Structure 1
């Protein structure tokens, strides 16, 4: 199996504090057991002042030590979120993060053994950006699987190093059995960027694996996780705020639209937001082969009017492995004249963007000239989208890998 395995630093006794401590020789007695830390994924937090963390290790307890300076070293204990091959999965939350700071962190057994240090940065609390990735679907790209996803992620953070977080639209892996998914999840989590850029994942049908895909809930520590939408433990709907914008992720493997609507309404009622963004896997206004599927038709006819009624600004989808940008939509109705690069939505008008494959593992052809399509593209090249957010504008620029060609760009702006 392929793991992103981090070497453990063994610290016995207290000779210093925090991440500056170097590995020390064992001071008598038996040396501590080796600690194998695998598949660390930094997750988005409930707000910009927190981060979540998930990892697996061969220890009975798990802790995170994190600091922005030698004077501010903190340790938080993780909780056990499952088990794989006899090793538990740990989830932890890092809170009260300062703006515009670099944090170093490491995970360990809360006693003597710690991983190598990793790091992330926080932003200044103003305008921000994130990177959007359509279905990586590691395992659908031949033998050996995985390099396409790693290449795209490296390209994205290399081209946009100051992005605040990553957001995926589902189907991180291809296999539809839990056992078959394990090596694919290990390859998905292999890129080192996933320890430095927080990830906000969306569950897809392959991740859910006909009710057997427990690893999504083990490998990702999600903020404000709900049992609404849950089809496997840990894969329900969740939400987070970031610098005034509100993000809500739905598991549309659960087709209980009334339940999703109640979750959205309750979340919206609990917080004011400059922009509201919803992500779910099945794109109702896509351009590929799934637009006529029964579940997609049902979501188009029943969920999209709810999204308009609730005043959602932007919806991000995957599933179709082709790129599509809708006109502004009011429920299922096209708003005429809204296919251009700069749009000013009115109440009830929502923009839908369906991301193409981010890894190149699988592409689907376009399925026709659907009336909701402002832009549709299948060029057989992986892509991702850089999303820039301020109080007045929300701009999406989709970039082809590896040449950096801009595929499409659109900006939403507030009415004056």
Structure 2
């Protein structure tokens, strides 16, 4: 009898080991929409796949099955309710491989346009399988505590050194250093980097992007048919999606090629003029109806970290700032997030910088040159109407979520930070991630280091121009209106040109509507004019103001910023 018990125990134990060894990867979540979710995993043998799920952990009353025998499983759960939490377990070969418990859950996306708080986590260049990656992950989980992550975006170079399947297995799906445990409940929206593309189509790639294959593409399931919102891309190379009142765009900075027809970013040729990705981007942005727009990809337009966007051989970054950023700014994109440079950098609210750092001009390229910190009364304001609606974009580089750069190699430590950047951080062992919180008309970005310190923070607010009901473009009679310097500490000058004599009422008011000052109420001759603005005489405190030049039936408006 004892021998029989021993045999039963032995075979039961071996069965358990077999099931445990059968699951090689996952489960992980892909292609989240308000009404569906894909659950993926990998098994050692070719097996069928089944997901049990439901809103009650103790009653997983729904099932989805794929009967095809495969190693890599991708099961789509359909007809789900929007913004609803579901629990699940996975099964292959008749054996439950993972779940159910409180760590196996997902939440569907809200209906597009829903106004509710949104938490976004951005990680770049993380796939090292090292302490930097682990500590960055743990710092974020500690910071968020019980707050759910709605959108997790990957900024590329997800798996070093070459984006091979073995790299992903060891440095992305692994549990101690990487994300094996949090994949059970945290969905991600990826973009590829140059290291990922080493196993897809390495530089110089001369293959049609429509034919790109490799571990990156076999691992992900991206929303390419517009099922998550946005214009269908029909490819997983790039895509877009809506989450609440925010629109996200995942671009592919690795689509450069010496072959013009395949040079979809225009790095080598004039291929950008016929690029399917760029045409799709324009279509997507022109049809977007969400007030917040965030674009992300790997190689940044501006950086002086472990990479220098000005160097002659950095042709991909050059192409991005010349061919891509003007389109994003044209459509009022609020935030751009990139990786590639193994540091953290954050810009002012910018516009129109398509050249090198040497061409940077604060007067023409800076919409708001303050800190952006709401706690200091310097939040960036983006007006949804007026003469320049939705003007300005903040650019963030976060390529240190597992990678770092020696202090003696980071250009900003050598006294050469990029002039467009307000804040930068890096050095040996300096890692971190970027957190975005959207709540109604406010977006706040925070840089969280791997040692649990928030080192940078900024806020963008969206609002209408205060007290103005009928906003016209700059009038045919008033031209070249501008305020300089801007921002200013004590004195600034308003200049403008009149095409004919006229009476003008010029006033200055705060964006909260609590202060108004008349700068001039008189007649002006044809030609150039200037009016001095003295902060002491006008009793101006630090903050943002609007200058209104009113000629009666129409007016033009200029923003200015008072700093200490």
| Short-chain TM bin | 0.7 to 0.9
The C-alpha deviation readout for 1:354-391, integer Å capped at 9, x for no partner, is 11411245566135232322222224421112210122
Quick one: distance in 2 between partners of 1:120 and 1:287? 39
From 303, 327, 331, give the equivalent of 1:306: 327
Q: Counterpart of 1:173?
A: 159
Q: Counterpart of 1:89?
A: 72
Quick one: distance in 2 between partners of 1:172 and 1:49? 28
Quick one: distance in 2 between partners of 1:179 and 1:101? 33
From 417, 420, 426, give the equivalent of 1:378: 426
Q: Counterpart of 1:20?
A: none
Quick one: distance in 1 between partners of 2:316 and 2:163? 21
5+ long unaligned stretches in structure 1: 1-24, 81-85, 139-144
For the aligned residues, what is the CA RMSD? 3.3
Q: Which moved more, 1:361-370 or 1:252-261?
A: 361-370
Structure 2 CA distance for partners of 1:413 and 1:41, relative to 1, 3 Å: farther
Q: Counterpart of 1:265?
A: 282
Query: Cα offset for 1:131?
Result: 1.3
Q: Secondary structure at the match of 1:296?
A: helix
2:198 matches 1:150: no
From 444, 451, 455, give the equivalent of 1:395: 444
Q: How many residues align?
A: 373
* Contact 1:274/1:391, CA 8 A, preserved across alignment: no
Quick one: distance in 1 between partners of 2:280 and 2:346? 26
From 197, 201, 222, give the equivalent of 1:208: 197
Q: Counterpart of 1:5?
A: none
The C-alpha deviation readout for 1:189-209, integer Å capped at 9, x for no partner, is 643112111111221111111
Structure 2 CA distance for partners of 1:303 and 1:190, relative to 1, 3 Å: closer
Query: Cα offset for 1:224?
Result: 2.5
Quick one: distance in 2 between partners of 1:34 and 1:137? 28
Q: Counterpart of 2:417?
A: 369
* Contact 2:109/2:243, CA 8 A, preserved across alignment: no
Structure 2 CA distance for partners of 1:311 and 1:44, relative to 1, 3 Å: farther
Q: Counterpart of 2:97?
A: 115
Quick one: distance in 1 between partners of 2:140 and 2:421? 26
Structure 2 CA distance for partners of 1:64 and 1:265, relative to 1, 3 Å: farther
From 45, 63, 70, give the equivalent of 1:75: 63
From 369, 392, 413, give the equivalent of 1:349: 392
* Contact 1:317/1:354, CA 8 A, preserved across alignment: yes
* Contact 1:224/1:240, CA 8 A, preserved across alignment: no
Q: Which has the higher contact order (CA 8 A, sep 6+)?
A: 1
Structure 2 CA distance for partners of 1:151 and 1:287, relative to 1, 3 Å: same
Q: Counterpart of 1:141?
A: none
Quick one: distance in 1 between partners of 2:75 and 2:251? 22
Quick one: distance in 2 between partners of 1:361 and 1:95? 41
Q: Secondary structure at the match of 1:211?
A: coil
* Contact 2:367/2:391, CA 8 A, preserved across alignment: no
Quick one: distance in 2 between partners of 1:121 and 1:172? 24
Q: Secondary structure at the match of 2:411?
A: coil
* Contact 2:349/2:369, CA 8 A, preserved across alignment: yes
* Contact 1:175/1:206, CA 8 A, preserved across alignment: yes
* Contact 1:169/1:279, CA 8 A, preserved across alignment: yes
Structure 2 CA distance for partners of 1:317 and 1:353, relative to 1, 3 Å: same
Quick one: distance in 2 between partners of 1:202 and 1:164? 17
Which has the higher Rg, Structure 1 or Structure 2? 2
5+ long unaligned stretches in structure 2: 1-10, 202-212, 257-263, 266-274, 354-363, 373-378, 383-388, 465-564
